[in-house]
Structure 1
Amino acid sequence: MHFIRLVLVAVGAARLSLAVATSRSGLLQRADTQQSIYSASPPAPPAPEDITVIELPLPPVAPNNVIGSCTKVINSRGTGCIGKVTGLGSGNFLPDNKHVVASVIFTGAPAAPDPRSIYTGLQLIIVKADKTTFPNGDPWKCITCGMPPANQLGRVDLMDYPQAFSDGKRVLAGPQVIDCSPFQLSSKKCTPDVTHIYPIRWNTSPTGDGAGGSIRELRLHPEDNHLGFNSLAIGSDGSVSQAAYIGRFVFNKAPTIGTPLSARYDLSNVTALIDPQERAQIYVEGNELKINQSAIGIGELRGFSGSGQEVTYIGAPTESCNIDVYAIHLITGKIRRLTAHPEYVDPVDISPDDAWTAVMDTRGTGRQMWLSGMRGIPPIVDMVATAAISSTRNNGERRFFQPWLIDQYGDRGQYFGQQINGAGDGSPGSVNDPEWNGRADPKWSPDGTRIVYYQAQTVSPECGGINPLPCYNSTEPGGRQERMMMATLTSRKPCTRRAPVPFADVVPWGTPFVPGSTISSPRYIPGGNYTLRGQVSGTAMVEITGGADNTSIDTIAVTYFNYSDDGASILNGGERVTVTTPYGGQNEVDWFSDIVQTGATHGTKTTTPGGLHLSVNVFKNLAIFTGNLTTTLDGTVWYQPANGT
């Protein structure tokens, strides 16, 4: 047996220690769930499998960012250095299963005309994953260093979520495509002179002019011809909304309208992944509230299934305060809940055969249990609180993510998956050191035997100072604070990836995007008093207070009377939540809770007499608490994090 390091959270003088037992590779088992995510009986959970984790090589580290600090003593081959903070963004495998794409920031290069001067700034590299080297002896190769200016017109300084195309010649990196055609990226013939960067443009103008719409969180469809992406909008009231889209790649060699007027990829046949009938998850019939868990509500697109038939996304909560990932079929609109642990999950990747899911999740850390641990509460207050709830998952730059492996049937019973990096001693720098936190996205190899992910070390101010978590020097080469890891599922045999299912542009349940059109604002339930009936027993009396001009919701109060959706646990008591958004992304929350749960689980979810007051910005994830909210489940007490932790 192995153990995740104790996680200490404190509220005032009170402290809670959480020790989570893991198997030889970290199979987390908990008994605090109350329901399976599938109505039909899924098979028994899989046994834990042996997983080995190694670190993939990166360029050497310069001592500082001073010009010329990357000396030949540090890198005798003259192929560049990175800093302690690398700007690392690891991506997926090339189709040969032997290389991984990544973005890094090179620093310390000498000034031109020294040939080493090309190794500077944000660049795309590929890294050997089979312990071999390139002909020059390096286990990595810079693809974009030294490209002629004429080959990178329209280039932007953003290469997040690098994703290789299945042809092995191109990489999606930020809002642009890096192309070494006709050569493989790993070939010695792929040189800067033959590499090009082509920007991606989404036309939102009815006349086709301008720079196009803002796109973020780009994900490549497995058949290479379509792109999924998100677009943010900030309302005049400070609220933040987002819509997800899918469109077809069309290479435009010589555009005559819109910017940039250089070779680029245009997005055509774009569809907003929004139900045109706007059927809501929570809606009103007379004076009753109803919940439709089959309603389509894509909060943020996160990728595609291995076969390309499904879109993965963060959706509206199924249970209150539970942030989960879901998958929806592009044609049928059928929805699957991929995760059901009460902790927070976000990055996700489905295996090439669609049989497994790799996620980055806070499960096992206790980070969110004070807020989300009580199961079976309907997601009523979440209509105003979801943004604030999700923003408490981090402490600024410290994420509490670790990589987990879950089978296709999802969390159920006492099965909550297997920690991919669970087989370690938790010591500083070890593969499961809790101060090395996961980033987005974990990625499967095409042959289904390996998963690559990357991590960042917790550094000041997220440790040290007023934070009781100690800071320690990095054990990585050169004191590097980011690293790229590869997990091998040693008992699995390589498989041949089947061709993904082609997508023909039409999403029957989506809304075709017309340039110049706008996405309608979300419809809010009018202020008033409503009744929500439990699926098995009891009722919830809901009071909704509308915001300014009744175009938003300001406050939700819920009182439970023997309420139960599963017949196993019963809720009584209630809570009241008020949220205001004074400016972009800022949430000011007043939360009062006094819920008692009986039956299969005995628990309470209570605030101190003055309530919990939470101030958090969704773009910064630095929560400031006044007052306390505490959840107790069968004698286990979960406290909120102290301010600054």
Structure 2
Amino acid sequence: MVLAYTALNAYGAPTKGCGVNNAPSAPPPPAPERIDVREIALPPVVAGNGTCTPALNPRGTGCLPAKLQEIFQAGGFLPDGRHVIAKVTFAGAPAAPDPASIYNGEQIIIIKTVKGEKFSNGDNWKCITCGIPPANSAGRTPTNDYPQAFHDGKRILAGTNIIECAEDLASDACTPDKTHVYAIRQSNKADDSGPGAQIRELRIHPDNIHLGFSVPAVTSGKFDQYAYFGRLKFNPAPLSGPEPRAPRYDVLNTQLLFREDQMPVYVDPRDKSQLLINKSAITVGELRGFNGDGREITYVGYPAESSNIDVFAADLTTGAVRRLTQHPEYVDPIDISAHDDWMVVMDTRGTDRQMWLSGLRGIPPVTDLVSTSATSSTRNNGYRRFFQPWLIDRHGDRGDYFGQKLNAAGSGIPGSGAINDPEWNGMADPRWSPDGTEIVYWQAFTVSPACGGANPLPCYKSTAQGGRDARIMIAKLASRSPKVPKTAPIASDKVAWGTPYVPGSPNPSRKQPAPGNYTLKGGCRGSAKVTLTNNDATGSLQRVRVTYKDFSDDGVNVLNGWEDVSTTSPQPTVSQVDWYSDLVQKGPWNGSKKTGPDGFHLAIDVLVNIFNANGTLSTTVGGKKYTQPANGT
């Protein structure tokens, strides 16, 4: 059903017309469309530790191992829309001076996407970084993840490097001797010494001049990260930084995408007994990219609904925030089309992976003050993701519209190799073609220890060539006509709501409400009693207890009951959560969220994601009960 909700800037701030939709109206959801999905060929697989012989690859242009997952990643399209980029790891190369010896280790390749098209040597792929002279890559860093093309067709961002050819990358004229690899460096010391900041998850801004990225940090003993935005500038002769001082790209005029006054949960300055939740706060947990014209950043933010991890967009100039996804399942990989009219996400929606935890909608995000690290980590089982690609229009999830699954067609039989085989799991990031007619995404096959052995889930044999456990897919939006690629305006170096970054300055810290007893008023009626308790050792919040009494923010769903959640961090990346819940909601989102008599106790590492819990936590929505995954799954 399609519901009407009150648009509020904050819980606890009742508005006129409660229960009436005061938000800007969105058009009706789009009709489903035809989507044709195909797999594109990769270099042949070499068995075990074998050699990539002429029998496997007559042209001597490399082989891949069957076990690829953590050493492989698909990237985006080149600007011509006929090639995609991938990070691969070649194996079995013969020793030098054999010409094929250069097809070894981690490299960047480009792959033809049009069936039947080949490069001049007969392959449908071309290695861009193989055989580059050492002098051309003196400052190269070891990371090559999330490969993305620049609009000029001559440069690729890969990890913390920019690969640059004097000719078009796809042309025969682009040879190793004409190709250079330059490191990207963000200074982080006042005297500009050292290797620079540990930047990760880099994303090119659509103007191809600016860059977004994240930097990890430890705050109050817990892992955190902050997002940054800066201008790329080539530095042909660095005078500072690491030795040897090779040519590189520096990030300048950097803005920290954070401000201390942007608190999602805060104490009412006019009444210190009242707690408020600011739905318009810009709380960038991890930067995921930009919208089509680059006016907005996209990011994983503080939950708008308890335990529900979503992606948001924030305008770099005005600070206006849009919530892009609303489904209770987990999402973070996202790409918005160049024409800014559609998005593609990797999401666990449809798998029920997170519904036991986040399925009851409309709960205000109060316990999330201490639980978000844990609730965002149960989405995976180690390296296994439970993502699949979803197509959503610009206006995002709304009512009963939650997008269209790109790879819905097929038998759905586990291990069959079908387009919708659930053992093939979506990975980050999906990417749009420049003309808006195709989407590239990649998948990893479920392998041990995510199945088999002590794990109760069965393992299947990959049907991909050579038993390969990674594949690249192209989704063709069959009814769409190509659009002329758009040119994004050049962004300002200054982000109105950001903070200028000064190298050498201490890490920021996210503020939280002071410990104490508070009241959180429903947007329409009712209230919640909230008790916040600090960890004396770290000075940060450790426990949140909430009791709801006829709480309603939208006038149609009414919440009663209580939750008590506490978290400790024995290591920065490890969360130990003790959770007690007895919630009941009446209304269109009718349901409950309850723990067993002994509560629910979870220990999980945010970087490893192995589920290990004692006790039970379940959510029932519309009469359907969702239960937690088994340990180790």
Q: Do they superpose with TM above 0.5? A: yes
What does residue range 23-422 of structure 1 map to in structure 2 within 5 Å? 31=1, 35=5, 39-66=23-50, 69-86=51-68, 87-131=71-115, 132-181=117-166, 183-235=167-219, 237-260=220-243, 261-275=245-259, 277-285=260-268, 286-422=272-408
1:414 alignment partner AA: D
Q: Deviations over 1:491-524 (max 9, x none)?
A: 0000001211211211111000011112322222
Q: Aligned equivalents of 2:519 and 2:368: distance in 1? A: 16
2:474 alignment partner AA: M
1:592 equivalent among 580, 595, 601: 580
Question: Does the CA-based 8 Å contact 1:368-1:392 persist in structure 2?
Answer: yes
Runs of 4+ in 1 over 4 A off after TM superposition: 31-38
Indicate yes or no: 2:531 matched with 1:531. Answer: no
Structure 2 residue aligned with 1:457: 445
Q: Aligned equivalents of 2:150 and 2:621: distance in 1? A: 47
Question: Does the CA-based 8 Å contact 2:265-2:512 persist in structure 1?
Answer: no
Question: Does the CA-based 8 Å contact 1:526-1:550 persist in structure 2?
Answer: no
What does residue range 486-501 of structure 1 map to in structure 2 within 5 Å? 486-501=474-489
Question: Does the CA-based 8 Å contact 2:576-2:603 persist in structure 1?
Answer: yes
SS in 1 for 2:598: coil
Q: Deviations over 1:220-261 (max 9, x none)?
A: 0111111100000124x5301111001101100011111240
Percent of aligned positions that are identical? 55
Q: Aligned equivalents of 1:489 and 1:358: distance in 2? A: 12
Structure 2 residue aligned with 1:547: 535
Q: Aligned equivalents of 1:474 and 1:279: distance in 2? A: 47
SS in 2 for 1:219: strand
1:71 alignment partner AA: T
Q: Aligned equivalents of 1:36 and 1:586: distance in 2? A: 37
Q: Aligned equivalents of 2:31 and 2:198: distance in 1? A: 44
Structure 2 residue aligned with 1:581: 569
Q: Deviations over 1:328-369 (max 9, x none)?
A: 111111111000000000100001111111000000000000
Question: Does the CA-based 8 Å contact 2:528-2:551 persist in structure 1?
Answer: yes
Question: Does the CA-based 8 Å contact 1:36-1:411 persist in structure 2?
Answer: no
Q: Aligned equivalents of 1:569 and 1:77: distance in 2? A: 65
Question: Does the CA-based 8 Å contact 2:217-2:507 persist in structure 1?
Answer: no
Question: Does the CA-based 8 Å contact 2:110-2:128 persist in structure 1?
Answer: yes
- 1:549, CA displacement in angstroms? 5.2
What does residue range 605-624 of structure 1 map to in structure 2 within 5 Å? 605-624=593-612
Question: Does the CA-based 8 Å contact 1:118-1:145 persist in structure 2?
Answer: yes
Q: Aligned equivalents of 1:50 and 1:633: distance in 2? A: 31
Q: CA RMSD in A?
A: 1.3
Structure 1 residue aligned with 2:15: none
1:323 alignment partner AA: I
Q: Aligned equivalents of 2:572 and 2:587: distance in 1? A: 42
Q: Aligned equivalents of 1:192 and 1:57: distance in 2? A: 23
- 1:447, CA displacement in angstroms? 0.3
Q: Aligned equivalents of 2:597 and 2:304: distance in 1? A: 29
What is the TM-score of this pair, normalised by structure 2?
A: 0.95
Question: Does the CA-based 8 Å contact 1:524-1:551 persist in structure 2?
Answer: no
Q: Deviations over 1:80-100 (max 9, x none)?
A: 101112322111111111111
SS in 1 for 2:372: helix
Residue 34 to residue 62, structure 1, CA distance change in 2 (3 Å): farther
- The size of the alignment, in residue pairs, is 610
Q: Aligned equivalents of 2:48 and 2:538: distance in 1? A: 54
2:426 equivalent among 438, 442, 461: 438
What is the TM-score of this pair, normalised by structure 1?
A: 0.93
Q: Aligned equivalents of 2:336 and 2:564: distance in 1? A: 38
Question: Does the CA-based 8 Å contact 2:566-2:577 persist in structure 1?
Answer: yes
1:541 alignment partner AA: K
Residue 626 to residue 33, structure 1, CA distance change in 2 (3 Å): farther
Q: Aligned equivalents of 2:182 and 2:381: distance in 1? A: 36
Structure 2 residue aligned with 1:3: none
Q: Aligned equivalents of 2:246 and 2:139: distance in 1? A: 7
Q: Aligned equivalents of 2:92 and 2:102: distance in 1? A: 11
Question: Does the CA-based 8 Å contact 2:65-2:468 persist in structure 1?
Answer: yes
Q: Deviations over 1:51-86 (max 9, x none)?
A: 0000111111111234xx111100000001011123
Question: Does the CA-based 8 Å contact 1:35-1:413 persist in structure 2?
Answer: no
Question: Does the CA-based 8 Å contact 2:263-2:512 persist in structure 1?
Answer: no
Residue 33 to residue 163, structure 1, CA distance change in 2 (3 Å): farther
